[in-house]
Amino acid sequence: MSVPTLESGIMEKVNVWLNGNYDEATKSEIQALIDKDDTNALTDAFYKDLEFGTGGLRGIMGAGSNRVNKYTLGAATQGFSNTLLETYPGQQISVVIAHDNRNNSDVFAKMTAEVFSANGIKVYFFEALRPTPELSYAIRELGAQGGVMLTASHNPKEYNGYKAYGADGGQLVPPHDSNVINQVRKVTSIDDIKFSGNSDLIETIGKEIDDKYMDTLLKLSISQDAIKRQEDLKIVFSPIHGTGGVLVPPTLAKFGFKNVHLVEEQMVLDGNFPTVIYPNPEEKEALTMALNKAKEIDADLVMATDPDADRVGIAVKNNEGDFVLLNGNQAACLLINYVLKAWEKAGKLTGKEYIVKTVVTSYLIDKMAAAKKVDCYNTLTGFKWIGELMTKFENDKTFIAGGEESYGYLVGEHARDKDAVISCAMIAEMAAFHKDNGSSLYNALIDIYLEYGFYKEKLIAITKKGKSGAEEIQTMMDNFRANPPAVIAGSKVVTLKDYKSGESKNISDGSIEKMDLPSSNVLQFFTEDGSIISARPSGTEPKIKFYCSVNEPLSNKSEFQNIESKLDNKLDQVMNDLGVG
């Protein structure tokens, strides 16, 4: 049965899936959409092929070339296999595979292992769900040439995804991601995918890697004496139904914390995420149960990780005793400042150390690093770029810490991806350190503002779903390029950075400098008063994101609330001037 309202190219794809060697359940799902004449759903499912974005492959589960299913992930794995075989000829190649708690993640992980093994590639297969950062660690520990994590991170339950990793333990970056995509495109028929696995090439791993990983993390501890004195620090933790429940509690125990309270309802592994709307620690709603428990027991610290445990959200007490959520910029500043000062105190800053962050993450971090004469590098959005830089500097410089505003941080060089397990341990340690010194994380943040200036950030994300949504987002970016704002919140725009063209333009004299970063669809506006506004379509969600950073000096603590109010008003004005408030 044909659907005349579909574009011809889309209809051709639909017919390939209806008539090809696909299973009956897949064909029935497509046919049901045809019978309902649901052209929007069919178009969205087939108008393009899933491609690697900032976080690999990610999408809604279902039938179609633009959906996550055994065929799209199978093609990705076959393409990845072909790339590895071409890159490492004559070698016994190995990969590591892990998965989170999402619906079908275990099924997709097993299928991925079978395709790799069918191609003669050895697979180290985690016995059950594990965090993304442990996968990154395991690739390096086992000397594997690649790896795959089956997860859609913090996306809603309808989503799943596939993060592909290289031999350095980092997500694929150019040209490796393009090489895989090119190989995937050569898989013109599902008959080209080797689905029949070789069990002799699949080795189960688990506790032995867990123990090595946690022992490695413990070596990063800075303030063991403070932890011993504050071992009863009241911590509330939630994995939001995900993999954080596997390793965060034992890691906190290994660090010496003896008073950790788990949100038991969210320790239940469930891909439907029944207790939250979105399993995203950036959202206050996702931390509701943890906050309620914290109030009940008068906790010192609240932490919650996303399903694959590479990101963490935290809440701390303010000076009135109320819990406040810290955003990703604030948590990153606290963590990096803590580690920087500890390294300085220990005499470990030799001039070869460095920090890494993304271009949309608080520039307060750049200022803190400069004060310690530590290099701070800015990368494109996505932790894979931070990981790439770490690998580049591995033998010449020492990585201290890194982070991005989207709640992902890394301390130590054991992985090449953001790590909520070490982040939880170090944040808890940091809380113990400040409490041991008569302070708190809340006051430590104010102290940073007193020293370096009060930086405040805000993110607005606008969702535009489907093919039409993607076109709307691109139109918005085109308009900003064609008609960039001259003034934002009463301050002149002095610099325009276009990461797509790789050019930084000085507005006053028109001079242009080239930027040494890969091309990316990001625009940044720098104003005369130090504000920075970034516009960027998401690489993993149907959203366009606007990041805004403003700052003012803070002379004393009594001015904190007044300056904060002033900055909040300025952030609102910035977004209104951009037409996205």
pLDDT tens-digit readout, 59-85: 999 999 999 999 999 999 999 999 999
404 near 357, Cβ under 8 Å?
yes
The structure tokens 């397990």 sit at 421
Dist. CA 574–CA 581, nearest whole Å: 8
pLDDT band at 55 (very low <50, low <70, confident <90, very high): low
pLDDT (0 to 100) of residue 198: 98
Q: Are residues 332 and 425 in the same domain?
A: yes
User: Residue 111's domain spans which residues?
Assistant: 67-205
Mean pLDDT confidence for 295-317: 98
**In-domain check, residue 87:** yes
The kind and range of the H/E element at 523 are strand 523-527
Mean pLDDT confidence for 285-304: 98
**In-domain check, residue 276:** yes
pLDDT (0 to 100) of residue 174: 86
pLDDT band at 177 (very low <50, low <70, confident <90, very high): confident
Q: Are residues 546 and 465 in the same domain?
A: yes
Q: Are residues 447 and 524 in the same domain?
A: no
Rounded percentage of the chain residues whose pLDDT exceeds 70: 98
Helices and strands (H, E) in the chain, number of each type: 18, 23
Burial 76-112 (b: 16+ CB within 10 A, else e): bbbbbbbbbbeeeeeeebbbbbbbbbbbbbbebbebb
Domain end position, chosen among 205, 235, 263: 205
pLDDT band at 56 (very low <50, low <70, confident <90, very high): confident
Dist. CA 441–CA 317, nearest whole Å: 8
**In-domain check, residue 432:** yes
**In-domain check, residue 55:** no
Rounded percentage of the chain residues whose pLDDT exceeds 90: 91
Which amino acid, 341?
Answer: K
**How distant is the alpha carbon of residue 11 from its chain centre?**
35
Q: Are residues 21 and 154 in the same domain?
A: no
Active site residue ranges = 153
pLDDT (0 to 100) of residue 100: 98
Query: What are the distances in angstroms from CA 379 to CA 45, 364, 385, 535?
Result: 32, 15, 6, 15
**How distant is the alpha carbon of residue 491 from its chain centre?**
32
Q: What's the predicted TM-score (pTM) here?
A: 0.95
User: At residue 366, does pLDDT exceed 80?
Assistant: yes
Q: Are residues 73 and 198 in the same domain?
A: yes
**In-domain check, residue 551:** yes
User: At residue 264, does pLDDT exceed 50?
Assistant: yes
Q: Are residues 483 and 561 in the same domain?
A: yes
CATH number assigned to the domain comprising residue 562: 3.30.310
Q: Are residues 200 and 222 in the same domain?
A: no
pLDDT band at 470 (very low <50, low <70, confident <90, very high): confident
For 97-114, how does the pLDDT look when each residue is reduced to its tens digit (9 = 90+)?
Answer: 999 999 999 999 999 999
pLDDT band at 1 (very low <50, low <70, confident <90, very high): very low
The structure tokens 């037409």 sit at 579
| DSSP secondary structure, 369-421, as one string | HHHTT-EEEEE-SSHHHHHHHHHHTTTTSEEEEEEETTTEEEESSS-SS--HH
pLDDT band at 3 (very low <50, low <70, confident <90, very high): very low
**In-domain check, residue 53:** no
Domain end position, chosen among 452, 482, 508: 452
Q: Are residues 470 and 360 in the same domain?
A: no
Q: Are residues 79 and 224 in the same domain?
A: no
CATH number assigned to the domain comprising residue 353: 3.40.120.10
User: At residue 143, does pLDDT exceed 50?
Assistant: yes
Q: Are residues 101 and 81 in the same domain?
A: yes
Lowest mean pLDDT among 172-186, 431-445, 552-566: 172-186
| DSSP secondary structure, 235-300, as one string | EEEE-TTSTHHHHHHHHHHHHT---EEE-GGGTS--TT-TT-SS--TTSGGGGHHHHHHHHHHT-S
Q: Are residues 15 and 36 in the same domain?
A: yes
Q: Are residues 184 and 235 in the same domain?
A: no
The single-letter DSSP state of residue 137 is H
pLDDT (0 to 100) of residue 577: 93
Number of domains in the chain: 4
User: At residue 4, does pLDDT exceed 50?
Assistant: no
For 376-417, how does the pLDDT look when each residue is reduced to its tens digit (9 = 90+)?
Answer: 999 999 999 999 999 999 999 999 999 999 999 999 999 999
By DSSP bridging, strand 301-305 and strand 235-238 are: parallel
**In-domain check, residue 54:** no
Domain end position, chosen among 183, 205, 227: 205
**In-domain check, residue 502:** yes
